[in-house]
A = this chain, B = another copy of it.
Amino acid sequence: MKPILFIVAPGFEEIELAAPVDILRRLEIPVVTAGLQGRTAEGAHGVPVTADMLMVDVDPEQYDGIVLPGGPASWTLRDTPGVLALVRAFHAAGKLVGAICAAPIALEAAGVLEGRRVTCYPAVKGDLKSAAEVLDTPAATDGNIVTGRGPGAALEFGFALADYLGCAEKTPSLRRDMCVC
């Protein structure tokens, strides 16, 4: 399996990066983090994280999916043409496209939510005009589009990504190992 790419933009929600990356790597699903505006980005709550590489160096052929953590970074993701181009490339290849919190607005801008059932941070629900339905669930999977609701649902979003990537048999024991309550 090729790695899953996580985009790290300034103002990303720290929990929304940490929880899904943690879950996928615990399941030995390869993950690569890519910085949007440099290798190091400060999260929404002041924690600087260093990514594995720069997003400009990403060749989408080398990855099996893309995931966008949310937070204030979501608007930067939405307004960056290079992010939208990458999202479209993964979607056109039928690969996993994931986003959590407000980051589904970048999927909307990329035009990949048409007719999909998704979830998102409540405040941006009205922005996802092309989606068939915006659910209030912690996570939602519709085809290759996996979405999460917000930081408090970041573990559920991570497990939904893992399930989509073929680890559904392993996630119940991982939930126990991680003391999910």
Interface positions of A (Cβ within 8 A of B): 13-15, 17-19, 21-22, 25-26, 31, 33, 40, 43-50, 101, 121-122, 138, 149-153, 155-156, 175, 177-181
Contacts and interface: CB of A to CB of B under 8 A. Distances in A.
A18 B18 CA distance: 7
Which 5 residue pairs are nearest across A and B when measured between Cβ atoms? A150-B179, A152-B180, A152-B178, A14-B18, A138-B181
A152 B181 contact: yes
Contacts of A17: 18, 47
28 contacts: A13-B22, A14-B18, A15-B18, A17-B47, A18-B19, A18-B43, A19-B151, A21-B46, A22-B45, A22-B151, A31-B46, A33-B47, A40-B50, A47-B49, A49-B49, A50-B50, A101-B179, A138-B179, A149-B179, A149-B181, A150-B177, A150-B178, A150-B179, A151-B179, A152-B175, A152-B180, A153-B180, A156-B181
Contacts of A153: 179-181
Nearest to A31: B46
Nearest to A39: B48
Given A47-B17, A47-B18, A121-B179, A152 B155 contact: yes
Contacts of A31: 46
B50 A48 contact: yes
B49 A26 contact: no
A56 to B, nearest CB: 20
Contacts of A14: 18, 21-22
A50 B39 CA distance: 12
Given A14-B21, A18-B18, A22-B15, A179 B122 contact: yes
Nearest to A123: B177
